[in-house]
């Protein structure tokens, strides 16, 4: 999957979806002549910026008939309206939390040489990841100690 193929997922029930956010831009944004934008004008602006976008597809996005635009489409619309792509994100804080968790996971890999296969790290809170990193550091240190320790002399109890 290439970055242009990523899809913008549905918004949580309490937040406006893509169609609502797009509709808001059409209602409240004005072109250089003070006129409301049309789908055709936004498509033209996006195409002038090097994207491939049609008025018909914008209409489908506005009405909710098309629900999962690619990131490239979101980028084209955002640039045509001259807003940040983050405007369309359901919850930018959630994305920042995911990036922090991924960073912590990468740190854990670098520090311990261990990975958590089969675990959805996004579901683990950052504090828990910190505890796991510390625990794995201890386990790694003990493993290195045992590896470097002289072999057991075979003491037996009688």
Q: What six digits make up the tokens of 66?
A: 């098309």
For 73, phi then psi, to 5°, come to -65, -45
CA distance 76 to 90: 18
CA distance 42 to 76: 9
CATH superfamily, with its number, for domain 3-88: lambda repressor-like DNA-binding domains (1.10.260.40)
Q: What six digits make up the tokens of 19?
A: 């169609």
Report pLDDT for 138: 83
Report pLDDT for 1: 37
Residues of the chain with pLDDT under 70: 1-15, 90-99, 101-102, 105-106, 108, 110-124, 126, 151-158
Handedness of CA 119, 121, 123, 128 (dihedral sign): positive
Report pLDDT for 86: 85
CA distance 26 to 15: 18
Report pLDDT for 96: 64
Beta bridge partners of 30: 36
Answer yes or no: are the C-beta atoms of 10 and 67 closer than 8 Å. yes
For 58, phi then psi, to 5°, come to -60, -40
Q: What is the DSSP letter of 30?
A: B
For 66, phi then psi, to 5°, come to -105, 125
Report pLDDT for 136: 77
Domain limits, CATH 1.10.260.40, in the chain: 3-88
What confidence tens digit (pLDDT) does each residue in 81-120 have? Answer: 999 888 887 665 666 666 676 677 667 676 666 665 556 6
Report pLDDT for 14: 55
Q: What is the DSSP letter of 7?
A: B
pTM, two decimals, is 0.51
């Amino acid at each position: 999957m290439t970055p242009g193929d990523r899809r913008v997922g549905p918004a949580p029930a309490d937040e406006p979806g893509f169609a609502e956010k797009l509709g808001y831009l059409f209602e409240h944004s004005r072109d250089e002549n003070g006129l409301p934008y049309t789908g055709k004008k936004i498509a033209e602006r996006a195409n002038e910026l090097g994207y491939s976008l049609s008025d018909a597809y914008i209409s489908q996005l506005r009405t909710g008939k098309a629900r999962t635009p690619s990131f490239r489409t979101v980028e084209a619309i955002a640039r045509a309206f001259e807003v940040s792509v983050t405007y369309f994100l359901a919850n930018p804080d959630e994305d920042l939390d995911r990036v922090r968790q991924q960073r912590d996971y990468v740190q854990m890999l670098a520090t311990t040489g261990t990975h958590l296969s089969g675990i959805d790290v996004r579901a683990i809170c950052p504090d828990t990841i910190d505890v796991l990193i510390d625990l794995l550091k201890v386990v790694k240190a003990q493993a290195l100690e045992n590896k470097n320790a002289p072999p057991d002399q075979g003491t037996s109890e009688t």
